[in-house]
Amino acid sequence: MTKLMRVQLVEGKADEPWGESALLSFRGDDALIHIGAAKDLPLVAAQRAARRLDGMGVTEVVLNGGGWDIESRWAFWAGYFNPKVSKTVNWGTEDGEELKELSARESAARWVREITNGTPDDVSPRVLAESAAEMLQKLAPEAVSYRIIAGDELLREGFVGIHNVGRGSVREPVMLQVDYNPSGDDSAPVDTCLVGKGITFDSGGYSIKPSSNMATMKSDMGGAAMVTGGLALAIARGLDKRVKLYLCCAENMVSGHAFKLGDIIKYKNDVTVEVLNTDAEGRLVLADGLIAASEEAPRWLLDAATLTGAAKMAVGRDFNCVFSFKDDMAQKVLDAATKENEKAWRLPLEPFHLEQTPSSFADISNIGIDGSPGASTAAAFLARFVPNEGRNWVHMDLSGSYQPAANDLWSTGAKGHGVRTIARFLLEN
């Protein structure tokens, strides 16, 4: 077997001795993916076969033959990615538009997967913010500007949620503010604001997590990575609207300086929050980003976060969850996901959920009452920090963004599942 393997999609079943139900068979240096014999959809078959080739140690492939289209090529890349091994995929097409799109997808998704998979020691709040800003600026140097607000400067600007969550770490919390303004006109209206949760490591704070739950918490900045990657892909696709991006970045650690249960945080919009669980910190940092974004009066406001275990319990790790008070807002994201062959599912958010985070000492607490739906009450908490009763706001809880153990579709780690949805949302609405 040579280093370079040719991979073909074929309709027919495998020959003996592979067996007629085989997904993969081999003929010399060619690997044949038998989508006709697969029980799954062709895209799933291509992704599954890529995982098997990765497991065999194949590190360089060319997608050969006429069976491929842009979506099957992309599905193959998604499954072939391995965080431990460098891989090379020759897309096997000379179509300039396809190559441009595939390159844009790979660039955005690779950044999301690699920054999310990075160790918590390497990816501090400032490193995450700087990496996101630099990546976007390289894409559109004339259109992208940014600022980083760090440490005690957060307090001076009223971003008390990020500061409180991050103050227990020796590495300062930061907010990244990015302005993508392709027109160059400082008075141009802001079309959309994106807000992402960037908790680069989550110990749970004084509500400390068990080790088994803490082991994957380098991925708790998946929301910040996802909205950045979505904006990057939209820019590469020709986004011509002004978009502002807010990343709320901190480490949630235990120390003599860490925030504590019983603390009360007063936000810029005068909402007071009693901390009843320091492991419900993502909503505390997102509140700052949502307040800042709302001040821009955008047409649309979307936030994304690896926010709750409840969302994963509801839909597993194949779907991202969508919340909005307004049916049309939720449908915009669901439609974008469908068009991009990504999976998203709407979970309930109703006005009565706003009543399910009571506090005896503040306006609200940061967790729901016993028995309340955790994903919905978390979304309702965020709704307190957006104007107009959440009319133009949608929240994504990224249940499908990270794979704690490899399966037959994904390697262990970040998946980039959601990047295309966000990009399509920006471009089409």
| Annotation marks residue 209 as catalytic | yes
What b-and-e string marks burial along 144-155, b requiring 16 or more CB atoms within 10 Å of the CB? bebebbbeeebe
* Cα radius of gyration (the chain): 22
Residue 91 clears pLDDT 70, i.e. is over it: yes
Inter-residue contact 29 to 5 (CB < 8 Å): yes
Instruction: Tell me the pairing of strands 320-323 and 393-397.
Output: antiparallel
Residue 320 clears pLDDT 70, i.e. is over it: yes
Residue 334 clears pLDDT 70, i.e. is over it: yes
Catalytic residue, chosen from 283, 312, 415, 424, is: 283
Domain locations in the chain as residue ranges? 4-93, 109-428
What b-and-e string marks burial along 5-40, b requiring 16 or more CB atoms within 10 Å of the CB? bbbbbbeeebeeebeeebbbbeeeeebbbbbebbee
pLDDT score recorded for residue 40? 60
Interhelix angle for 125-139 vs 96-117, to 10°?
Answer: 170
Average pLDDT for 285-309: 98
> For 109-428, CATH number?
3.40.630.10
Q: Which of 252, 255, 257, 290 is nearest to 166 (CA)?
A: 252
User: What's the DSSP call for residue 15?
Assistant: P
Catalytic residue, chosen from 209, 237, 326, 346, is: 209
Give the pLDDT band (50/70/90) at residue 36.
confident
Q: Which residue has the tokens 């890529």?
A: 50
Establish whether the linkage from the previous residue to 17 is cis, with ω within 30° of 0. Answer: yes
Query: How far apart are alpha carbons 173 and 152 in whole angstroms?
Result: 9
Query: How far apart are alpha carbons 112 and 110 in whole angstroms?
Result: 5
Using CB atoms within 10 Å of the CB of residue 162, give its burial: 0 to 12 exposed, 13 to 18 middle, 19+ buried.
buried
> Starting from the edge strand earliest in sequence, which strands make up the sheet with 88-90, in order?
24-27, 30-34, 4-10, 60-64, 88-90
Query: How far apart are alpha carbons 180 and 175 in whole angstroms?
Result: 16
Inter-residue contact 174 to 281 (CB < 8 Å): no
- Taking all residues of the chain, what is their mean pLDDT, rounded to a whole number? 96
Reported residue count of the chain is: 429
Residue 1 clears pLDDT 50, i.e. is over it: no
Query: How far apart are alpha carbons 279 and 296 in whole angstroms?
Result: 30
Average pLDDT for 303-317: 97
Q: Which of 239, 232, 139, 230 is nearest to 420 (CA)?
A: 230
Average pLDDT for 392-421: 97
Give the pLDDT band (50/70/90) at residue 37.
low
Provide the residue type at 241 as one letter.
K
pLDDT digits (tens, 9 = 90+) for 99-157: 999 999 999 999 999 999 999 999 999 999 999 999 999 999 999 999 999 999 999 99
Instruction: With 0.85 as the threshold, say if the pTM is over it.
Output: yes
Q: How many CB atoms lie within 10 A of CB 393?
A: 28
Cα–Cα distances (Å) from 338 to 45, 326, 402, 419, 421, in that order, read 18, 19, 20, 13, 8
Task: Please name the residue ranges forming H helices in 65-124.
Answer: 70-80, 96-117
Average pLDDT for 169-181: 98
Give the pLDDT band (50/70/90) at residue 29.
confident
pLDDT score recorded for residue 20? 82
| Annotation marks residue 244 as catalytic | no
Give the pLDDT band (50/70/90) at residue 13.
confident
Contacts for 71 with CB less than 8 Å, ≥ 6 apart? 43, 341
pLDDT digits (tens, 9 = 90+) for 186-243: 999 999 999 999 999 999 999 999 999 999 999 999 999 999 999 999 999 999 999 9
